[in-house]
Amino acid sequence: MRLHRRTATAALAICGLAAAATAAPATAANPNNPDKLAKAVTVEAIRTHLNAFQSIADAHDGNRGAGTSGYEASGQYVEKTLRAAGYTTERQYFDFVYDHVISTSLDVVSPEARAITHAPMSYSPGTPVGGITAELVAPAVATGCEASDYAGVDVAGKIAVVSRGVCAFSQKALAAAEAGAAAAIVYNNADGALNGTLGGINDAFVPITGVTQAEGQALLAAMAAGPVVVKFDLQKTVENRTTFNIIAETKSGRDDNVVMLGAHLDGVHDGPGINDNGSGSASILETAVQLGKVNKLNNKVRFAWWGAEELGLLGSEHWVYDKVENDPAALDRIATYLNFDMVGSPNHIIGVYDANQSTYEAPVDVPEGSSETEQVFTDYFNKVGQPWVDTEFSGRSDYQAFIENGVPASGLFTGADGTKTEAEAAMFGGTAGVIYDPNYHTPKDDITNINWEAIDIMSNGIAYATMSLAQSTATINGVTSNGKSGKPAKPKKNADFQGHSALR
């Protein structure tokens, strides 16, 4: 899971491919209602897919990142599994900037030498060979969003130490550069690691990395006592590559009222990416396999495995904006979009995107129909007695491009780098005061750290919602269907209902 930005890429030569699950025999039960489909999508089958992703990462330099052979192998596994289940698959290729850290270190040189745990931000420029050794300095305004925030501070050639918050990391990198800094360190404004992105390449950025809140406070305290000198060394590969999205859809169902599901297939380059986001990818893959056994659907269901999400939501942005440019009516034919990014977090919550803003005010526009999409999930969890909580409808994953263009959306989330509260621990178990996924964006995001109870709960919710909406989207856009395209929609009795196309 990653914050936002545009353009992408990556195709490649490949080594091995884990064996795909075979399609169920034609005599298999027809899971033709929401409860049956939820039962048919099993943890055991999802575990098979996740074991395959882990084996792929193990065979390909430990990761499945965009632009790598591990991503190509992951794509081949998804495609083979889908074809065995009766689907036709499509690859949509696009270009992106491959941004890979070769080596990095951040060390206090004086007054007391020590290593600092840090995470360079995506799209940060590298340092010169040998790194940057310089004194630390803090802006007069802690968040360092403008060059004027450094007024009265001797910044030239030094490394700025700034707080997360108020503005984007890219703005902090530009402000530090304009003020004369040689590099920047951003410390978190809450507990947990800081894994940030600059959203794209800009020659004006200074090299920039993230540290925890505690580390930031320790550096500031040391600076208050006297000069602190740090060496920051960041060596990178930055080059153009090509990658792809994978799209598949059911053969039955009206194609002018499509239900769409998506999960990003790539992981970060620092690990196998099994929770983030093998968990979402495997869950919708098994949902597709089981849905393929259904004889008849009213609405077509389209599945997407997005590429290069970790580099800035690039794959989903490419797909949506390609439609905006070349086939805008295709977006109006999407009744709603469901997003699944991390559904097996070790210290999990059962989170539903808060489209109705009952808990969190959304920092983005929420398209009409999104609240009703959210309710499909919450009604299911209420029905089975499963506690759930709202998570912010923030646009911080692959639904962003959809909602920017008026398509209703919702989704499920078990947590990333936020911290579990006492109330959440009482509801879901686990440990309060610990982040939801302590392995987020690290090499430890592997098969041994998946929470299978969370996978079970969330995959049931995914399957139930998928089948419910494949039968009818009447509550979302007023359309009832007999599965035949071109039939006039039967609007809801509420004459004021306009549907999401009116938003564009």
Same domain, 353 and 458: yes
Same domain, 263 and 375: yes
One of 79, 215, 309, 374 is an active-site residue; which one?
Answer: 309
Same domain, 460 and 347: yes
Confidence bin at 483 (pLDDT 50/70/90) = low
Same domain, 395 and 283: yes
Which of the listed residues 239, 264, 284 is the one where a domain comes to its end?
Answer: 239
Q: How many domains does the chain have?
A: 2
Same domain, 367 and 442: yes
Per-residue pLDDT reduced to its tens digit, 315-352: 999 999 999 999 999 999 999 999 999 999 999 999 99
Residue 46: in which H helix or E strand, if any? helix 43-59
Whole-angstrom Cα distance, residue 463 to residue 340? 12
Same domain, 231 and 268: no
Residue 8 pLDDT > 70, yes or no?
Answer: no
Same domain, 400 and 328: yes
State the residue range of the domain holding 145.
101-239
Q: Shortest CA distance to 379 belongs to which of 276, 273, 469, 283?
A: 469
Same domain, 290 and 208: no
In a domain, residue 26? The reply is no
Q: In this predicted model, which residue has the larger pLDDT, 454 or 503?
A: 454
Which of the listed residues 188, 208, 239 is the one where a domain comes to its end?
Answer: 239
Which of the listed residues 212, 239, 266 is the one where a domain comes to its end?
Answer: 239
Residue 5 pLDDT > 50, yes or no?
Answer: no
Here the CATH number for the domain that contains residue 120 is 3.50.30.30
In a domain, residue 15? The reply is no
Same domain, 350 and 418: yes
User: End-to-end distance of the chain based on CA atoms, in angstroms?
Assistant: 27
Per-residue pLDDT reduced to its tens digit, 54-107: 999 999 999 999 999 999 999 999 999 999 999 999 999 999 988 888 999 999
pTM above 0.85, yes or no: no
pLDDT reported for residue 278? 98
Here the CATH number for the domain that contains residue 368 is 3.40.630.10
Whole-angstrom Cα distance, residue 447 to residue 342? 13
Same domain, 113 and 166: yes
Active site residue 309: yes
CA atoms within a 13 Å half-sphere pointing along the CA-CB vector of 302: 21
